[in-house]
Amino acid sequence: MVRIQTSLSTWCQKRSMKWLVLLGLVVFTECIVKIPLRRVKTMRKTLSGKNMLNDVLMEHPYRLPQISFRGSNLTIHPLRNIRDTFYVGNITIGTPPQEFQVVFDTGSSVLWVPSVFCNSSTCSTHVRFRHHQSSTFRPTNKTFWINYGAGRMKGVVAHDTVRIGDLVSTDQPFGLSMAEYGFEGRRFDGILGLNYPKQSCSRPIPIFDKLKNQGAISEPVFAFYLSKDEQEGSVVMFGGVDHRYYKGELSWVPLVKAGDWTIHIDRITMKREVIACSDGCDAVVDTGSSHIQGPGRLVDNIQKLTGAKLRGSKHYVSCSVVNTLPSIIFTINGINYPVPAQAYILKDSRGRCYIAFREKRVRTSTESWVLGDIFLRLYFSVFDRGNDRIGLALAV
């Protein structure tokens, strides 16, 4: 894996410099691009009627000139692809630093790692934070719960120095798990939440907000490139966007509401037939989810249309038919985002092919979906906190 921390002004002055980085020699041939961001209102709330919205989009398109800002920083942090299921990166906590593998998760907002006081069986198989070994550790008496789709944890809030590569957040509040449920067999120590802060006095402030408030991040933006087929090269980047990771231009999608990475889907089609979201629906863009999730009835319809058969907890198809199955197309803000069968069909440990659509564990009164890593491996994603929007482009 490669970890890259660049200073744009220094690099541009030494255009042909080769940098020796961890486990590789990386040579750049052009300046890292910083994209200027401008404030755009969430138009779905202020404009009614499809024609009016389309007229405004045509009159005021998202034109983002690729301009380099001297003195600004783009931090690119490596992630590891674990069986196309999880993408984890290393962070450190404490002084001297203790290293942890965490999932960078846009579906939650809290950073937590296991505590030495956690007695759950899952904690014993992972790295646990040894608070007594850190000179910068500061405890609190605040406790909290977090419920995830796959499990839940109970923790206590503490403060210490947290590092993501060369990004440093001092006196960062984070969670230490005291009990964990449903995380058996996981391949990571904890979770680093990148969602908006939640309105709760017991929840620690997210590390992205702390870094932004401290001025450590030039622009209130982070982005993901997720590799395919367990290949190396996955990254999360903070403070800007590196255009080398996507093709064409970014298409910007306004959030349904500020405070959550939820966007609007126009429709979901297969063989030109609408199979879901016939009247539009909402979807959370979630880097912490491995699959695409939706209402059980609609996911069952997708399984049937592909001819998949239920075996155990998964729906399987013959691997010989994968290339003949149709793409499933998500239309978002008027743009089609195809997900081919080669992307939505995965192989289990025995080499059998199964469909990576799942029923949402949390049921809601309205039709809603979760666009997880199956979707995000195909499309480079930019999370723009400054303008409450998500950018999507075809990943390289």
- What pLDDT, in 10s, does the model give residues 221-263? 999 999 998 889 999 999 999 999 999 999 999 999 889 999 9
Helices (H), the chain: 8-13, 43-46, 50-59, 207-213, 296-305, 341-344, 373-376
Instruction: Tell how many helices (H) and how many strands (E) occur in the chain.
Output: 7, 30
Active-site annotation holds for 189: no
Name the 3-class secondary structure at 278.
Answer: coil
Q: Confidence class of residue 346 from pLDDT cuts 50, 70 and 90?
A: very high
**105, 266, 282, 388: the active-site residue:** 105
**209, 282, 286, 388: the active-site residue:** 286
What's the pLDDT score for residue 200?
59
Adjacency order of strands within the sheet including 379-384: 4-7, 73-78, 235-238, 221-225, 379-384, 389-395, 246-254
- CA–CA separation, 193 and 205 (whole Å): 10
What's the pLDDT score for residue 55?
45
- CA–CA separation, 381 and 27 (whole Å): 24
Structure tokens, 362 = 């949390």
Structure tokens, 41 = 């209102």
The larger pLDDT score, comparing residue 37 to residue 72, is at: 72
Structure tokens, 150 = 């796959």
Active-site annotation holds for 286: yes
- CA–CA separation, 349 and 312 (whole Å): 14
pLDDT tens readout for residues 84-135: 888 999 999 999 999 999 999 999 999 999 999 998 988 988 999 999 999 9
CB-based burial, 5-27: b 16+ in 10 Å, e otherwise: ebebeebeeeeeeeeeeeeeeee
Listed in sequence order, the residues at least 6 apart from 66 whose beta carbon sits closer than 8 Å to its beta carbon are 33, 35, 243
Prediction pTM value: 0.81
